Amino acid sequence: MKSPFNQIIDASEQETGYPADYMRDMLRASGWGFFKFILSMPLIRHRKHASTELHQIAQLGATRQEACGPCLEISKNYARQAGIAEITLHQLLFNPEGAEHLFSAAFLLGVHVAGGPPVSDTHITALKKEFGDKGYTELVMSAAAVRVFPALKRGLGYADMCALPGPAKEKANLDTETR
């Protein structure tokens, strides 16, 4: 019988459709470290003041900035499950300023949290007006929390699985060239 931690890893792989070998490496190297990692997972799903859609969009922005292909695909799938239309996802990934204002604001906040350019005061004001400081803070925490996955993958030697596919890779290259 598998340990509860291995069952969690198996469930993660089944839910996301991607291998979680980096998690198995973490578990082998440090059971306590893995346990603490698992304890942080509720932070990713903490949603009390801002909508699920905007949480997913902020996470999508952060994941996009991290430039991890599988993490981006997983984030897109969670956004779809939250009811975000395919056309909106495409717009956010390739022309975020052209998306609906709150969606654009949440996405660009996520990008900023992950080390991208600053968010405009207009976007911050819109998010705070809609959800208050509590909702805004939740979105920041949500975007920050998803960064752990690509960071761990890279740090544990799984960077090769993080390559962005096709057009997203081209967009990432353009983004870094213009900075």
Residue-level pLDDT at 31: 92
Say if CB 10 and CB 2 are below 8 A apart.
yes
Q: Please state, rounded to an integer, the average pLDDT across all residues of the chain.
A: 88
Which is more confident, 94 or 69? 94
The pLDDT tens digits of the residues spanning 102-132 come to: 999 999 999 999 999 999 999 999 999 999 9
Supply the pLDDT for residue 139.
97
Spacing of C-alpha 40 from chain mean position? 14
Give me the mean pLDDT over the 44-66 stretch: 93
Max CA pair span of the chain: 54
Mean pLDDT within 62-83: 91
Mind giving me the DSSP string for 21-88? HHHHHHHHH-HHHHHHHHHTHHHHT--SSS-HHHHHHHHHHHHHHHT-HHHHHHHHHHHHHTT--HHH
pLDDT of res. 164: 63
Cα–Cα distance, 146 to 122 (Å, whole number): 25
Res 166: pLDDT: 55
Neighbours of 3 (CB within 10 A): 10
Q: Phi and psi at residue 101, in whole multiples of 5°?
A: -55, -50
Q: What is the pLDDT of residue 43?
A: 81
Measured from the Cβ of residue 115, the count of other Cβ atoms closer than 10 Å reads 10
- High-pLDDT (> 70) share of the chain, %: 91
Given a cut of 80, whether residue 95 has pLDDT beyond it is yes
What are the tens digits of pLDDT across the range 134-150? 999 999 999 999 999 88
The arithmetic mean of pLDDT across residues 83-112, rounded, is 96
